[in-house]
A and B are shown apart, each in its own frame.
Chain A
Amino acid sequence: MKQEHGMTLIVKTVTRISVWLILLYGCYIIFHGHLTPGGGFGGGVIIALALLNVMLAYGREFTSNWLNIKLLHDVESSSVILFLVVGIFGMALGGAFLYNFLDHGTLFHLISSGTILPLNILIGIKVAMSLFLVVWVLSAVKEEKGDAE
């Protein structure tokens, strides 16, 4: 079989199945951040590793057709702006910056503890996009062999 980019056929087949499971596991860790250890940062790193798995197994060209790199960049910037907007809402409604203004709910349920769940999701998105884009940009320098920024 003629191989152009990326790794062998076995790696590509296993990646095609397992990438969705890794993404699901990352989302589980983000969503249960207020009940079990983990939270935004740990879950975000796992999602970034899933996307990097695709990039390593299939090569850069296939990944840039599958994902929209410009969209990832915009999502990353807007998640930080949304985090600061949630904080400013806390200032307007409660008393201080990042005040917990939503309903606290009952203990040990998934939708509980106020604004901790949305903030965890925003941090998870930001960390995932950042780590993936950092490794993406660093690996572009070797191929172009010139003055890449």
Chain B
Amino acid sequence: MIIPYFIIIPLLAAFIISLIAGDKDEWAVILSTIATSFLLILSVFSFATMQNETIVYEMSAWKLPYGIVLVQDALTSFMLIMVSLISLTSILFSVSYIRNISEDWKYYSLFMLLVAGMNGVIITGDLFNMFVFVEISLLAAYSLVAFGNRAEEFEASFKYAVMGSVSSTLVLIGIAVTYSVTSTLTFAQISIEFQNVDHDMKMWIGGLFLAGFGLKAAAIPFHAWLPDAHSSAPAPISSMLSGVLIKILGVYALIRLFFNVFNAPDFFLTLFLLLGSVSMIFGVFLAIGQWDMKRLLAYHSISQMGYILLGLGLGTPLGILGGVFHLFNHALFKSLLFYNAGAVETVAGTRDLRKLGSLFKLIPITSQTSMAASLSISGIPPFNGFFSKLIIIIAAVQAGQPVFAFIAVIGSILTLASFMKVQRYGFRGEKNVEIKGEIDWRMNLAMITLAVLCLASSLMIVPGIKEVTLDPVVSVIVGKVSSIQSILGR
């Protein structure tokens, strides 16, 4: 059984690095690269060998209603592949980027803890276990945002920590109320007992969980920590936070709780639609006026999260397909954009768009990959962003909500406008910029890999391949309560 290895391998790597690394960080780099590539191989293998079945693993061999279970189905394997892919490219990028700050093994140990926490959130089948792993990964994230020792990073990390603690308290109150009405903590048992709960209590519980996990997903009333935290962090950490952390802790937890456990009540699907559309519009309007490159990218993260919430809130299989596909694509192109911003900052020493220009001749690989990522996020064919946004818009029209389709189109046009601004001022301007640093071969390798995957993942919508990769994931979500209750039959 290979399910618990997804948590054991990063935890072992984190503490072996802490034990054997001296003052230099060579052993730390080697161990973390081995651990993340091993995780990528394991997750691809586990996705390929199980298609529509659900595997259950009982921890400490205690029988099902009494112990903690680990559940693996198609949605789990899909998320695991995404996490291990982005973390492998992030380790590649950060080898020479972090050496400019300090040669320290603590960065790699904290990074492994972050990966272990995220893997734990994905594979668990128990409510309080999910809360514990959310807290582990958030602790590592607070420390990693403040890693560069500059004043803005400490301020951003403090804001993130205080708001994250308040939202975790809300989630804990939700868990307390759920336990008092259902007297169990396993997902499958809760979904059975939840039908006997009266209507007011369902509203309370749903509202508490939506507020708590919505802050971690950066939906619009709860977004205030994201621009500071994602723009002040070092570039590989920004790509991990914006690329996978807000999706795993926010959107994946919302999918598991609202679709599989609470049986998707209509009131909350309408709330998803409203939050998603407001996030789309406000995110893009706030992003156009920014002159700092990473702050602009951080505001765009809020806007793209709105697309995913809109796709999920429609409730139809086509809408959920669009939402899940956009989740995967956004991880790829947003990480690539943050790597480009980090490379620009290493070469030119500044992130302000008014001071950059004519980088197209100096760093050709960064410029070409940034053009690919900008076309992806704006939705231009044949890149992958076009297909996922098209599916969401068609699903909105088919479900009888043409207003939301119109809002999605406006958001896409404004996204295109702001990225043309980045390309015009950042890469093809007229000023001459003096070079203050160099780009390593590992940074180039990470950026080229993600750019090639941006093109290749648009093949996932072709009808022959869609049956293998995306349809099992959608059927787990659409199956709502029955796909998590199938584990009780063992």
Contacts and interface: CB of A to CB of B under 8 A. Distances in A.
Interface in B375-398: none
B58 A77 contact: no
A149 B102 contact: yes
Chain A interface extent, by class? 20 to 34
Interface in A45-82: 73-74, 77-78, 80-81
Contact of A149 (B8, B15, B19, B104): B104
B60 A98 contact: yes
Interface in B330-344: none
B60 A97 contact: yes
Contacts of B12: 81, 84
Given A90-B60, A94-B61, A98-B60, A77 B15 contact: yes
Nearest to A73: B18
Contacts of B60: 90, 96-100
Given A88-B8, A147-B149, A149-B102, A80 B15 contact: yes
Nearest to A78: B19
Chain B interface size band reads 10 to 19
A80 B11 contact: yes
A89 B58 CA distance: 16
Given A84-B11, A87-B8, A96 B59 contact: yes
Contacts of B58: 96
Contact of A97 (B4, B18, B19, B149): B4
Interface string B84-128: 000000000000000000101000000000000000000000000
Contacts, number: 44
How would you classify the secondary structure of chain B's contact residues: helix, strand, loop or mixed? helix
Interface string B1-39: 100100010011001101100000000000000000000
B197 to A, nearest CB: 32
Chain A CB within 10 Å, residue with most, of B11, B19, B57: B19
A34 to B, nearest CB: 15
Given A84-B11, A97-B4, A149-B102, A77 B59 contact: no
Contacts of A99: 60-61
A74 B102 contact: no
Interface in B34-77: 57-61
Nearest to B62: A96
A91 B4 contact: yes
A81 B102 contact: no
A105 interface: no
A81 B16 CA distance: 7
* 7 A-B pairs closest in CB distance: A77-B19, A96-B61, A77-B18, A97-B4, A95-B61, A80-B15, A98-B60
Given A91-B4, A97-B59, A149-B149, 15 more contacts: A77-B19, A81-B15, A81-B16, A84-B8, A84-B11, A87-B8, A90-B60, A96-B1, A96-B57, A96-B58, A96-B61, A97-B8, A97-B60, A99-B60, A149-B104
